[in-house]
Every structure is written in C-alpha cells, then in structure tokens.
C-alpha cells in the first residue's frame, strides 16, 4: 500500500497452483484488505488451484477471474513462427508438433529452444509431454553444464552461486561461467537483485525445468547434495531466518541417507533442531498452521528422554490449539507434568495457562479456574519476567469475564507495567484489552481508548489472537452502547483477521459473536445456520463457550416461528451457561429463558428466573443486553416494574437500559424508537406489538413477516382485528 500510494502498483504472482497455503492466504488477505490505493494483483494459475481455493473461481469481492483456453492450432503456429523467426516448418514436423502441443504454449516454447540448440532435423523426434521435451533438452547439454543444473535443482526454484559452489565443489568463477551458458540457453535467468547479501542469484525459468533436472539426479547422490546445501545456509549466519529451508534440506538428506543405507550421523539432530527453529519462526510470523507442522515433524525426531522434549510438546499443543481448536488438554497435561518434573516452573505455568484457555473455550469454568490458579501459584514468587507478565494479563482477563472489574483493572495494570518494562507487545495488548473492557463495563468510557490502543499494539506486533480479541471486545462495547452496526462490522473484521491467519480459535469466537448480530439485523436464517454449526458440534460432544448463545438464539427464533424445539434449546442453553459461569453468558441466557418459559405458559418458572436475575451478583445491565427488552415486558406482565427498575440501576447508562426503563415506566413508544436507533429490530418489533397502537402493530407485523415469525404474525393480526 505504501508503494501504491507513490504510484500505481501492479503485483504479479505466477504459477500459484504450486504455492503453499501461507502464500495463498497472503494473496487472499492482500486483495481483501488493500484499499484506497491504485493496486492491481495479477495471478496466474492452472485450474487445479480452484480445488484448493474454490472461492477464487468467482463471486469474490474486488476480484475478476479470466479463464484462458488452450491455444488454437493457428495461434500455436503463429507463436512458433515468432519464436523461430521463420514462418515454415516441414509439414510433417509441424503437424506432429501441433498435435503434441495440444495448445500448450510451454511445449511450443521448449520445442523452439530445442530446435535452436539442435536444428530442425535433430529436433524432429518429438517427445510426448512437456517434461519429455525438457528432458531431451537437458540430455543435449554438455556434462559439466548438466551437472551444475542438477545441483541447482537441489536448491529449488531460486539458486545462488555460493551455494552451487559448495554443493558442486567447484570454484565460484567456474560455476558463474556455466550458469552464464545455461542462461544463454534459457534454462535459468539471472536476477537483478539477490535475497542473499553478497551473492549472485539465479532462478529457473520454469519450475518444470527444475523438477525434471532434479528427477535426473541419482537417488544415492541426492542426500549429500542436500546436506551440502544445508551447510551452506548455516554458513550464512542467519539460520533463524532460513530455518524452514534449512529443515527442508536436512530432512531430505536424512530421508535419502536412510533409503540408500548411508550414514545418518548428525542428520536427525540437525533436522530436528532446524524444524524446531522453523516452528518458532512461524509463530513469530503469525503462521500457527505452519508452526504446528514443523513442531509435529520435530517431535517425530526428538528423543523421548531428552529434557527439551516437554517444551516442544507444549509449543506443538499451543500451535495446534490455535490452528484447530478442540481438546488439546492431553498433550498440554503431558507437557506440564514433564516441565514440572524437570523443575522448569515458568514453562509449566505456560502449560497451565494453555489448559485454562482450553477448558474455558469448552465452557468449563471450574476446570479452567483450577488451572489458572495453578499458573498463578507457579509465578507468585518470581520477580519481573515474561511468563509472570503473561500469567497476570490472563488473570486480569478472567476477572473481567467474571464481571469482577475492579480486580481486573488492578491486576491488568500490574501486568501492563511489567509488559512495558520487558517490551512484551502481546501482553501489553492483552492487559489494555482487559483494563479497557472492565473500565467501560464499570461506567468509565475512557476504557475505549485503552481498547483502541490495545488493537493498535497487537496489530503492529502482528499478534493475530490479541488483535482479533481486541476488536471483538470493542464490538462488545459497541453493543453495550447501542451501536449495533459498528459492532457487526467489527465482528466481521475480527473474523477476517483470524481467517487470514488460519487461527481457528479466533474464527470460532468471531462466528459465535456474529450469531446475535445476525439475529438483531433480522437475518434469522443465517443466524440459525451459524448457530447450528455450534449446536451440531455440542451434540457431538465438542462444546464451545459460545454454544449457550447458539442454543438460546435458536430457541428465540424457533419460538417466534412457532417451531418445535424451543423449550429443549433453552434448557440446554441454561445447562451450558451454568457450566460456563461467566455473567456475560449466564445473564442473557436466563433472561431469554424467562421469556421462553412465559411465552409457552410455564409462568412460575419465568417468575423464578426473573427473581434469580434480580438477586444474582451482577445485574442484567452489566452484561450483554440480549434479553433485557424481554425481561422488561415480563416484569410489566408480573406487575414488578418497581423492583425491575431497581435492578436496572447499574451505574452504566446505555440506550438498552433507557429503553427497558421506558417499557417498565409505561412508555413503549419511546422504547421502540430507542430500539430502532440501536438497530435491535426484534426488540423494536416486540415493543411495537405490545404497545397496542395499530400503526405500531402494523410496523411490527412487517418485520415478523420478513423473518417468518408466524407466532407473532398471528398475534399482530389478532391485535389488529381487535382494534378494527
């Protein structure tokens, strides 16, 4: 974007069918997010790319797909003539060439190069495939040139003179001379800029040339060449930046050495260390999926009795959890026990924190709290340290989630000071997030600045989790303040950030939050679709923290539509909410349960639920506002408006509370207008229907018809008939 601000910029990505997922994610993110500057991305790929990225085939925002057909025979003939600088080939050669090429321009180009090297007569015997014609060209090279090209193939698409000199055991000038000859014959090209300082860089003109050259190397020699390549990379002195490439070469060397019964001494150790470092590097680059792969490969080579293994198990569990979610408690427990046995207290505390998060996201607050307490005990006696700052930031977070705002702020500030002293961006962002959310929930709107600063720090540090969490909590604040449209956009942004990084935990949490936004927007079918994905998992035994919300929103929609299952859904929501324990889950679940019970005629249970909310620690206004409107109408029906108004005295004036006060105070018209301003369409419709005014009921009826809420459509029609 910075380059494009200076002048229009075109970025070209060729042969993306060979790209790894990390590069594809980058291109996806770039096209989705770059805005406000003249930037064009041109990507070429074979159709098989669409099997991995079906969304790239059409319908993607800011993208156009152009499918290129094979060249016609006329076009192939023109291409060959232009490349050969002659218009006529022998008829029998041209006929066979057109048949073999099949409209593939690469085949035609390679044929022309073969003709230029051998002449038409010697090139008349055409191979069946592109790979065959490339192999024929390679076989025509001088042995010294072919050897250098094969050594270059070991390095990959890109190669350097110094590396080739190391692999081939030749002087640099000899390598440069042979590469120059290969460049003239259009096997490789010299790059204007090198990615390795002080080295001349070349690249294969086409990846197929590299693949064919590599395939011609005898298997018995490949291992030694990969080992030499790895040793050259190590000699650069920046192995942490090249750890992935280093791991690749050592693993290839190890596999070929095993396959050909050669000495593997040292290769397994070098390979596992390089894989571990590649995992660490991937974590730094916010690529948890890549980190998980590297750690898994390292563990296969890591000795069981090695004291470093437990830490590697922990890092692998962390990477897998962020990438896949689910229950990673078994490896986390294994890592914790091993680290405690080795006396590595700080790392054991990190394992306890991972366990606390795993169980919290599963909606099991009791087990989560036990591991959080264990983590804190392990760091209590430590001085200022990275682990202590991290543990304190998480303790602050769990206090915030439990609506214990004062201790959250106090401990969060302690963690923030420690993180700033040590330069820990992720923990600074986490602490500010907790402090800001707690301040706003306590009625101090200066906390919004803390949240915005948290998002800025996390974004700058490329910490995907804290970046997404900060945006989600800012969305929560926007919901509390009645800014539902802003909240919805923030939730979508958080989901996009997590998807771009492949962070499953963030994706799932963003999806869970968006259920309620879709409900409020009147997009009920989509709300149910997302809710169903959580419910299917929960019923299969994989409960998520957001499962209760999925159940209670589906219950509300089923109730409105007169469908079966609303009561079953709300019972399950209550069960999950009580296990999660956090007020932000418990309070809205109980509020909507009271509404469902009242509507289906279980009025005693509804009254008991209202009473439990009034007497519970924390008040409805202190949590998310879902169910607040329904509670206000229930209080009105039960004649306990005065007690309900007392419950609303939270010290946090929001449009939701003002609307609920208006309902309890007998002014539904004002409440409906407030809900309309907020963007809470179901609450607006319920309030207009309950107002008894024909024009208001008609307004509600239009909404209920649009979402298929047959129960309320029927009630509106009855009310209108009674007032006719």
**pLDDT tens column, 696-716:** 999 999 999 999 999 999 999
Q: For residue 50, what pLDDT is reported? A: 86
Residue 623 has pLDDT above 70, yes or no: no
Mean pLDDT of 415-438: 95
Q: How many CB atoms lie within 10 A of CB 170?
A: 18
Q: What is the mean pLDDT of residues 566-589?
A: 90
On the question of pLDDT at 121 being above 60, the answer is yes
Q: 599 and 559 in contact (C-beta within 8 Å)?
A: yes
Give the C-alpha separation, 440 to 433, whole Å: 11
Question: Does residue 618 carry a pLDDT above 60?
Answer: no
Query: Which whole number is the average pLDDT over 470-492?
Result: 94
- Maximum Cα–Cα distance for the chain, whole Å? 102
Confidence band for 617, pLDDT divided at 50, 70 and 90 = very low
| pLDDT (mean) for 211-239 | 88
Mean pLDDT of 249-261: 88
pLDDT of residue 615: 66
Residue with tokens 């409440």: 671
Mean pLDDT of the chain: 89
Q: Determine the pLDDT at residue 560.
A: 95
Stretch 76-100: mean pLDDT: 80
Residue 268 pLDDT exceeds 90:
no
232-245: average pLDDT: 81
Q: Are 650 and 657 in contact (CB under 8 A)?
A: yes
Kind of pairing, strands 9-13 and 201-204?
A: unpaired
| Alpha carbon distance 472, 450 (integer Å) | 14
What is the per-residue pLDDT for 83? 84
Confidence at residue 113, expressed as pLDDT on a 0 to 100 scale: 85
- Angle, helices 130-139 vs 207-215, to 10°: value is 60
* Strands ordered across the beta sheet of 188-190: 158-160, 201-204, 188-190
pLDDT band at 375 (very low <50, low <70, confident <90, very high): very high
Statement: residue 31 has pLDDT above 60:
yes
Given a cut of 90, whether residue 120 has pLDDT beyond it is no
Greater model confidence, 87 or 269: 269
Q: Provide the pLDDT for residue 626.
A: 81
- DSSP track, 344-377: -HHHHHHHHHHHHHHHHHTT-HHHHHHHHHHHHH
Structure confidence at residue 622 (pLDDT): 45
**What is the average per-residue pLDDT within 682-709?**
95
Long-range contacts formed by 359-362: CB under 8 A, 24+ apart: 359/329, 360/398, 360/401, 360/545, 361/325, 361/505, 361/508, 361/509, 361/544, 361/545, 362/327, 362/542, 362/543, 362/544, 362/545
Structural tokens at position 21? 């997922």
Residue 86, pLDDT score: 65
pLDDT confidence tier of residue 115, bands split at 50, 70 and 90: confident
pLDDT at 124: 63
pLDDT at 616: 59
The string of pLDDT tens digits covering residues 654-671 is: 899 899 989 989 999 999
pLDDT at 496 (0 to 100)? 87
Instruction: Look at residue 415 in the predicted model and tell me its pLDDT.
Output: 95
Cα dist from 567 to 573, 597, 600, 601, whole Å:
10, 8, 8, 11
* CA pair distance 148, 168, nearest whole angstrom: 7
Between the CA of residue 436 and those of 460, 513, 582, 588, what are the distances in Å?
A: 19, 19, 18, 22
pLDDT score of 59 more than 70: no
pLDDT at residue 619, rounded to an integer: 42
Share of the chain above pLDDT 90, in %: 53
* pLDDT recorded at residue 123: 62
Dihedral sign (CA 699, 702, 703, 705)? positive
Q: Three-state DSSP class for 680?
A: coil
Residue 621 has a pLDDT of 38
The answer to whether 701 and 720 have CB atoms below 8 angstroms apart is yes
In whole angstroms, give the CA distance from residue 588 to residue 476: 14
Higher pLDDT, 266 or 149: 149
pLDDT at 2 over 90: no
The β-bridge partners of 13 are: 43
What pTM was estimated for this model as a whole?
Answer: 0.79
pLDDT band at 337 (very low <50, low <70, confident <90, very high): very high
For the record, the structure tokens of 713 come out as 């459509």
Element at 202 (helix H, strand E): strand 201-204
- Which pLDDT belongs to residue 620? 40
Tens of pLDDT, residue by residue over 283-325, are 887 788 889 999 999 999 999 999 899 999 999 999 998 888 7
The answer to whether the beta carbons of residues 384 and 420 sit under 8 Å apart is no
């Amino acid at each position: 974007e910075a380059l494009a601000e200076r002048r229009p910029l075109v970025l070209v990505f060729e042969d993306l069918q060979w790209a790894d997922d990390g590069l594809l994610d980058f291109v996806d993110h770039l096209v989705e997010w770059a805005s406000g500057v003249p930037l064009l991305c041109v990507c070429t790929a074979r159709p098989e790319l669409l099997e991995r990225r079906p969304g790239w085939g059409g319908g993607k925002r800011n993208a156009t797909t152009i499918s290129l057909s094979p060249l016609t025979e006329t076009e192939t003939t023109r291409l060959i003539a232009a490349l050969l600088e002659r218009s006529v080939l022998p008829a029998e050669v041209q006929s066979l060439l057109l048949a073999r090429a099949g409209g593939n321009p690469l085949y035609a180009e390679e044929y022309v190069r073969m003709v230029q090297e051998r002449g038409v007569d010697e090139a008349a015997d055409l191979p069946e495939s592109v790979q065959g014609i490339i192999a024929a060209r390679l076989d025509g090279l001088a042995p010294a040139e072919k050897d250098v090209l094969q050594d270059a193939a070991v390095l990959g698409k890109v190669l350097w003179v110094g590396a080739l000199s190391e692999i081939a055991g030749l002087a640099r000038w000899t390598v440069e001379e042979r590469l120059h000859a290969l460049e003239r014959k259009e096997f490789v090209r010299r790059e204007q800029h090198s990615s390795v300082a002080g080295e001349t860089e070349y690249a294969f003109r086409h990846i197929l040339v590299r693949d064919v050259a590599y395939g011609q190397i005898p298997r018995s020699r490949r291992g030694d060449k990969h080992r030499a390549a790895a040793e050259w990379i190590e000699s650069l002195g920046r192995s942490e930046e090249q750890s992935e490439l280093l791991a690749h070469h050592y693993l290839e060397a190890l596999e070929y050495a095993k396959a050909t019964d050669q000495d593997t001494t040292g290769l397994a150790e070098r390979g596992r260390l390089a894989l571990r470092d590649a995992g660490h590097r991937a974590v730094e680059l916010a690529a948890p999926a890549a980190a998980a792969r590297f750690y898994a490969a390292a563990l296969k080579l890591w000795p069981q009795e090695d004291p470093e293994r437990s830490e590697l198990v922990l890092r692998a569990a962390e990477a897998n959890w962020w990438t896949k979610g689910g229950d990673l408690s078994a490896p986390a427990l294994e890592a914790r026990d091993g680290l405690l046995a080795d006396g590595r207290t700080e790392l054991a505390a990190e394992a306890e924190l991972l366990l606390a998060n795993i169980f919290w996201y599963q909606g099991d607050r009791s087990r989560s709290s036990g591991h959080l307490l264990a983590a804190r005990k392990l760091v209590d006696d430590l001085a200022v340290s990275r682990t202590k700052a991290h543990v304190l930031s998480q303790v602050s977070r769990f206090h915030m989630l439990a609506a214990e705002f004062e201790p959250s702020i106090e401990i969060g500030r302690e963690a923030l000071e420690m993180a700033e002293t040590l330069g820990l961006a992720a923990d600074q962002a986490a602490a500010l997030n907790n402090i800001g959310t707690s301040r706003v929930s306590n009625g101090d709107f200066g906390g919004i600045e803390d949240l915005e600063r948290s998002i800025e720090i996390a974004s700058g540090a490329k910490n995907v989790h804290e970046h997404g969490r900060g945006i989600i909590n800012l969305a929560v604040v926007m919901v509390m303040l009645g800014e539902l449209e802003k909240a919805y956009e923030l939730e979508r942004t958080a989901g996009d950030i997590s998807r771009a990084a492949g962070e499953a935990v963030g994706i799932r949490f963003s999806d869970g939050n968006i259920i309620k936004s879709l409900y409020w927007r009147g997009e009920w079918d989509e709300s149910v679709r997302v809710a169903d994905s959580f419910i299917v998992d929960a019923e299969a035994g994989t409960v998520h923290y957001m499962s209760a919300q999925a159940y209670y929103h589906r219950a509300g929609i089923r109730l409105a539509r007169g469908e079966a299952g609303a009561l079953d859904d709300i019972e399950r929501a209550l069960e999950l909410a009580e296990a999660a324990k956090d007020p932000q889950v418990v309070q809205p679940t109980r509020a909507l349960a009271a509404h469902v019970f009242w509507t289906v005629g279980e009025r005693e249970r509804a009254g008991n639920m209202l009473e439990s909310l009034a007497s519970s620690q924390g008040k409805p206004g202190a949590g998310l506002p879902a169910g607040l409107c329904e509670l206000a109408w229930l209080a009105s029906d039960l004649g306990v408006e005065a007690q309900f108004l007392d419950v609303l005295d939270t010290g946090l004036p929001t449009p939701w509370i003002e609307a609920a006060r208006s309902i309890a105070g007998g002014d539904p018209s004002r409440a409906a207008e407030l809900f309309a301003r907020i963007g809470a369409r179901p609450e607006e419709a319920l309030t207009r229907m309950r107002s008894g005014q024909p024009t208001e009921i008609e307004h509600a009826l239009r909404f209920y018809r649009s979402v298929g809420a047959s129960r309320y459509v029927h009630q509106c029609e009855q009310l209108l008939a009674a007032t006719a």
